[in-house]
Amino acid sequence: MRICSISVLSVVVFACHAALAADTAAERLIGVWLGSGRASEAIYGTLTISDKYISWPRTNNLQSCKTSYEIISTEISDTFPDEFPTHVHSVKGRVFTTVKLKLGEENCLARSLGQPAAFLQFSFPSDMPGFAYVVEYDKAGKPHSELAFNKSQ
C-alpha cells in the first residue's frame, strides 16, 4: 500500500513541477522584448507581450500588429525544438525553457517573406537571463527563421 501512495505522490509532485514550470515560462514571456540582431530588429523591432496579447510596431517592411495568443506547449530540455543546425546553442550545463505560442486569427504579417506567422516559439537559456531565441513557424507548422531578443529592463 505504501508503494502505491509514493507512486501517486510522485505523479502529483511531477504534475505540480510541470505546472510550476509552465507558469514560470509564461511569466518569463510577459514584458517588452527588443530585437538583438539585424533580422529581429528589421522584422519586429520590439515585441510587447501581455498575458493575452502579443504586439509589435510597424517596421521597415511590415505593418504593426496586435494579436491574441495561446500557449500550446512548454518544455525544458538541453536543446530546443527546431533549433537551426547552423545555430547550435549547446553549452555544458545549459538548459532551455521553451514556450510555443499559437498566434490569434488576426493574420499579422510577421515573417520577412511577407506571410503570416502562425506560431512563435520562445526558448530561454538558463545561463542567459532576459534572453530568448525565437523560432517563427508558418500555418503548416514549418519553422522559417530563428531570431534573438533581449528583454527590456
pLDDT value of residue 131: 95
pTM equals 0.79
Does position 11 have pLDDT exceeding 80, yes or no?
no
pLDDT the model gives residue 31? 95
pLDDT tens for each residue of 40-60: 888 888 999 999 999 988 766
3-state DSSP of the chain: CHHHHHHHHHHHHHHHHHHHHHHHHHHHHCEEEEECCHHHHHHCCEEEECCCEEEECCCCCCCCEEEEEEEEEEEEECCCCCCCHHHCCCCCCCCEEEEEEEECCCCCECCCCCCECCEEEEEEECCCCCEEEEEEECCCCCEEEEEEEEECC
Spatial distance between the Cα atoms of 64 and 30, rounded to a whole number of angstroms: 19
Instruction: In whole angstroms, give the CA distance from residue 35 to residue 29.
Output: 14
Maximum mean pLDDT: which of 1-15, 108-122, 126-140: 126-140
